[in-house]
Amino acid sequence: MNPDSTGNRARPLTDPVSLYRLREGVYAADLLIVAIVELDLFTWIGRRAEVRAADIEKELRLDSRALDVLITYLVALGLLERAPNETLRLSPLAAEHLVADSSWDMRAYFGSLSERPGCAEMMTALRSGKTSSWSSATEDSRDWSDRLIDPGWARHVVASMDSRGLFLGAEFAAALDELPDIRRSLDIGGDSGVYSCALVDRRPEVRASVLERSPVDELGRELLVRRGYADRVNVITGDMFNGPLPGGFDLHIYSHVLHDWSEAQVRDLLDASYAALEPGGWIVDHDAHINADKTGPLPVAEYSVMMMHGTHGKCWSVSELEPMLTDSGFVDVRHKDTISDRSVVIARKPAA
């Protein structure tokens, strides 16, 4: 974790993006099977001159968040196309292979996989919006966030998120080089503090804090001590949804946090950040983002399926985040790619 002699973290010799994509896309195929077999969605769309998402939601009785994730995924796959006036149409590929009465109909081929347990969970999500337990676990039906009160479970989750951030952290920190005069950062819901460590490696003048609830806070402190960062990164115990955020910071970081929560909850967090940030301070959302026109990229659309399956959120698009940020009062919203299908969305609180 510590920086090398140039002040930058050592980098691996290989690019693990393919491994990230395998892990983050693991639920996507089940959603596709359900769309083809259980909903027969492509036949349904193909029999109509024009279709809007609202039509699909009403006629097929689907949850709006889950349907949005499904449509974005199918567009990114090249099976649906976004048409004028916010309508949807079949791509030539889908029209030839995924509709009834086609000479090249492949629906039965996908149907042979429709008894997979994940398909049943996806059907539940599409109908009700209800989330499933982490990794489709059957022994504990609690929401993943509610399970974090268990120290053993919390250690498992923190280790997972920390492992993800080891490679992503350096590029995240580099993407913030354009932000001037950052002295104190608050990593909200920052787990192990892995991104704060990357930030102080790159900008030694910064003192960073991580906001986490118990018992994740203690796990974060353990890791920071073990890695030698405890003098530059500290952990504040608190719940980001309960009460005002700590004051005195000129940078708020949300790294892989907003994708866990509903639009109303995301708006609450952005409002809380705006209220707590110092004038002229910055907010950064570091995540896998859907592009502005919601056509992909495919790996992020697949990752969004995982988020829809197990959390209250999804991978937010740049075009969705911008109005939420401006509604909270932020200005100068910008977007910048980093690495492994990640990017940062950055905005500023006006100085006065």
For 230-256, the pLDDT digits (tens) are 999 999 999 999 989 999 999 999 999
Is a pLDDT exceeding 60 seen at residue 2? no
Is a pLDDT exceeding 90 seen at residue 267? yes
What confidence tens digit (pLDDT) does each residue in 66-87 have? 999 999 999 999 999 999 999 9
According to the 3-state scheme, what is the secondary structure of 153-202?
HHHHHHHHHHHHHHHHHHHHHHCCCCCCCCCEEEEECCCCCHHHHHHHHH
What confidence tens digit (pLDDT) does each residue in 177-232 have? 999 989 999 999 999 999 999 999 999 999 999 999 999 999 999 999 999 999 99
Q: Where are the beta strands (DSSP E) in 65-183?
A: 80-83, 87-90
Q: Which of 307, 313, 256 is nearest to 134 (CA)?
A: 307
pLDDT bin (cut points 50, 70, 90) of residue 325 is very high
* Average confidence (pLDDT) over 130-152: 75
Determine the Cα–Cα distance for residues 105 and 95; give it in Å rounded to an integer. 9
Determine the Cα–Cα distance for residues 231 and 234; give it in Å rounded to an integer. 7
- C-alpha distances out from residue 175 to 15, 164, 178, 255, 348, Å: 18, 17, 7, 13, 15
**Pairing mode, if any, of strands 51-52 and 87-90?**
antiparallel
pLDDT of residue 5: 34
pLDDT of residue 334: 97
Is a pLDDT exceeding 90 seen at residue 149? no
**Is domain 146-348 classified as CATH 3.40.50.150?**
yes
Is a pLDDT exceeding 50 seen at residue 318? yes
- Which tops the pLDDT comparison, 264 or 10? 264
DSSP reduced 3-state for 254: strand
Domain assignments of the chain as residue spans, ordered by start: 25-136, 146-348
pLDDT bin (cut points 50, 70, 90) of residue 136 is low
Average pLDDT, the chain: 94
Q: Could you tell me if 237 and 214 are in contact, meaning their C-beta atoms sit under 8 angstroms apart? A: yes
* Average confidence (pLDDT) over 169-177: 97
By mean pLDDT, which of 135-139, 194-198, 282-286 is the weakest?
135-139
- C-alpha distances out from residue 253 to 78, 137, 144, 347, Å: 34, 30, 21, 11
Q: Classify residue 204 by burial, with Cβ atoms within 10 Å: 0-12, 13-18, 19+.
A: exposed
Is a pLDDT exceeding 70 seen at residue 3? no
Phi first, then psi: give them for residue 332, nearest 5 degrees.
Answer: 55, 45
pLDDT of residue 143: 75
pLDDT of residue 131: 86
pLDDT of residue 9: 63
Is a pLDDT exceeding 50 seen at residue 4? no
Tokens of 163: 């492992």
pLDDT bin (cut points 50, 70, 90) of residue 147 is confident
Is a pLDDT exceeding 80 seen at residue 61? yes
C-beta atoms surrounding 235 within 10 Å: 25
The answer for residues whose C-beta is within 8 angstroms of residue 118's C-beta and 6 or more apart is 27, 30, 136
pLDDT bin (cut points 50, 70, 90) of residue 7 is very low
C-beta atoms surrounding 304 within 10 Å: 30
pLDDT bin (cut points 50, 70, 90) of residue 140 is low
**Is domain 25-136 classified as CATH 3.40.50.300?**
no
